[in-house]
Amino acid sequence: MEVVQVSPRLFTTSTADNETRTIPIPPELVRLLRAHIKKYGTTPDGRIFQTARGGIIQDSAYSAVWAEARKTALTEAQHRSPLGRRPYDLRHAAVSLWLNSGVPATEVARRAGHGVAVLLKIYAHCIDGQADAANQRITDALGANNTEPEPDGEEDGDSEQPFLSGEPVDSFDGDHVAVDEVQDPVPADA
C-alpha cells in the first residue's frame, strides 16, 4: 500500500491500477500512521511497511509476525479459535464493526472499497437482527418519543394488536407486522 497523503481525517493511497483513492479514517488512526511514518519512514515507492533493509515484506514474514502477535495478544482459548487467524480477518472485523456501529452501508462500502451490493451480500449477516435499534432510530427521527405507558399497561410502545386504517393487521410479534392487504385510507374519489 503506497501512502500518498495522511491528513487530519483522510488517508490517500494508490490502488493496484495506479489510481488514487481517498479513505476517511478516524483521527486516532491518523495519529498512529503519522507516528509510524515519522519513526520508520516510507519506502521510495511510498509503502508504509518494509523490511529492515527497505524491501517488500513477503507473505511468509507477515504470517510469522502475525502468528506471534496473536499468541502474545490473545488468551489461550482465543488463540486456539479462528479469531483473527489471518491478517485479512482484521478487514472483516472492521467492516463488521462499522456496520454494527450504525455506519451507513454506503459509507462502509466506500471505506472498504466495495460496491454496496457486494458489501451487503457478504456482510448482511452482520446487520441482521437490529430491528429494535432500527425502530428506535425511526421513532427518534419522527420525533415520536411517547413515554406514556400503553393503555393495557405495556411500556414498550407496541400494542398487542396494531391497526392500519382502522383494520387489524394479520399478525404482530412485537417487532414485525405481517399484512396481507392494506386498504388505502383515502378514497379514490376524494
Q: Would you say residue 169 lies in a domain?
A: yes
Asked if residue 10 has pLDDT above 70, the reply is: no
Tell me the pTM: 0.56
Note whether 1 and 51 are same-domain residues.
yes
CA distance 1 to 62: 14
For residue 163, the model assigns a pLDDT of 44
Q: What percent of the chain has pLDDT over 70?
A: 65
Q: Would you say residue 149 lies in a domain?
A: no
Weakest-pLDDT range from 52-56, 60-64, 95-99, 126-130: 126-130
- 171-172 and 167-168 strand pairing: unpaired
Q: What percent of the chain has pLDDT over 90?
A: 16
Which of these, 175, 168, 102, lies nearest to 132 by C-alpha position?
175
Note whether 65 and 119 are same-domain residues.
yes
Q: Would you say residue 46 lies in a domain?
A: yes
Asked if residue 54 has pLDDT above 70, the reply is: yes
Note whether 121 and 63 are same-domain residues.
yes
Segment 48-72 mean pLDDT = 86
**pLDDT tens, 127-171?**
777 788 888 889 999 987 665 655 665 555 444 444 444 444 445
CA distance 84 to 73: 11
In Å, what is the CA distance from 172 to each residue of 20, 29, 58, 159? 50, 45, 56, 9
For residue 161, the model assigns a pLDDT of 43
Segment 2-27 mean pLDDT = 62
Residue identified by cell 509510524 is 36
Note whether 66 and 37 are same-domain residues.
no
Which of these, 169, 165, 166, 167, lies nearest to 180 by C-alpha position?
169
Note whether 47 and 78 are same-domain residues.
no
Note whether 12 and 72 are same-domain residues.
no
Q: Would you say residue 94 lies in a domain?
A: yes
CB neighbourhood size of 189 (10 A): 4
Q: Would you say residue 40 lies in a domain?
A: yes
Note whether 66 and 122 are same-domain residues.
yes
Note whether 29 and 68 are same-domain residues.
no
Regarding predicted confidence, which is higher, 76 or 44? 76
Note whether 15 and 41 are same-domain residues.
yes
- 167-168 and 163-164 strand pairing: antiparallel
CA distance 154 to 160: 9
Which of these, 190, 168, 187, 188, lies nearest to 178 by C-alpha position?
168
Segment 96-103 mean pLDDT = 88
For residue 90, the model assigns a pLDDT of 85
Note whether 12 and 70 are same-domain residues.
no
Note whether 30 and 89 are same-domain residues.
no
Q: Would you say residue 151 lies in a domain?
A: no
Domain range for 3 is 1-56
For residue 125, the model assigns a pLDDT of 82
Count of domains for the chain: 3
Note whether 82 and 52 are same-domain residues.
no
CA distance 104 to 117: 13
**pLDDT tens, 16-47?**
666 777 778 888 888 898 899 899 888 887 78
For residue 157, the model assigns a pLDDT of 46
Bridge partners, 6 (sequence order)? 11
Which of these, 87, 89, 43, 37, lies nearest to 65 by C-alpha position?
87
